[in-house]
Amino acid sequence: MIHARVKVCGITTVSDAAACLAAGADHLGVIFARSTRRVAPERAKEIREAVPDASLVGVFAGETVDRVADVARVAGLDMIQLHGGESPAYCEAVADAVSTPIMKVLAPGHAADPEELGRYRTACFFLFDMDKRSSNGIGAMRKLWAQAARAARRGRRVFLAGGLTPLNVWEAVHQTAPYGVDVCRGVERAPGVKDVDALMRFIAEVRR
C-alpha cells in the first residue's frame, strides 16, 4: 500500500495553515521566491507560531546562502526547498549553513538523469515539477510521472508536483509511488487562498 505524504504549498495566512494542518496535510510550504504567493519572513514566523507542530517548508530560488540561513532561522523552518538552478556545491553550502533537510527541484531536462540526482549528495528529497514557463499538457505530465517513478524505484525520496488536483492525484500516486505529493493551485479558490474542501478531497484521493 502506498502512503504518500501531502505537502500543501503557497500558504499565505495563519488561518489557511491551521485549516490545512487540520485537514491532514503533512507539510506546509511557504514561498520566499518570486511568486504571487510570496510571504515575508515575519509572516512565515507568524504561521510557525500558530502551528508549532507543523512541518514548515521554505521555498527559495536564487538567494544567497546567508539569506536562506537567516530566513530559516527567523521563520523556524523544518525543511529548505531549493526551487531554482542551484548547483550541487550551492546545496552543500546551504546544508552546512542550516540544520534542516533539503529538497531539491531539478529542471525537467535533468529530472530523468540518475547521475544528475546523484550529484546532489546533500539533498534528502527531490521534487519533480512541471516547467512553469512552458505550456504543459497531459503528455508532459505523464512523462514527468514516469521520470519520478524511475527515481522512486532507485530509492530516491521523491515528491511529485505539477498540475495535481483531486481529479488526477490518485492516478499520479499509483503510477509513481512517490514519497509525497505537492499541491498548490490545485486546491485554491484564488492565488494564495486555499479551498479546504478541495484539499480534503485531494487528501482522501491520495490515501484511498
Arithmetic mean of pLDDT, 184-204: 96
Is the pLDDT at 134 greater than 70, yes or no?
Answer: no
Residue type, 39: V
Taking alpha carbons only, the member of 59, 57, 71 closest to residue 26 is 57
pLDDT class for 112, splitting at 50, 70, 90? low
Please, what are the domains in the chain? Answer: 5-207 (3.20.20.70)
pLDDT class for 44, splitting at 50, 70, 90? very high
What pTM was computed for the model? Answer: 0.93
The contacts of residue 126 (CB under 8 Å, 6+ apart) are 103, 104, 105, 106, 111, 117, 120, 151, 156, 157, 158, 159
Tell me which of 16 and 85 has the higher pLDDT: 16
Is the pLDDT at 140 greater than 70, yes or no?
Answer: yes
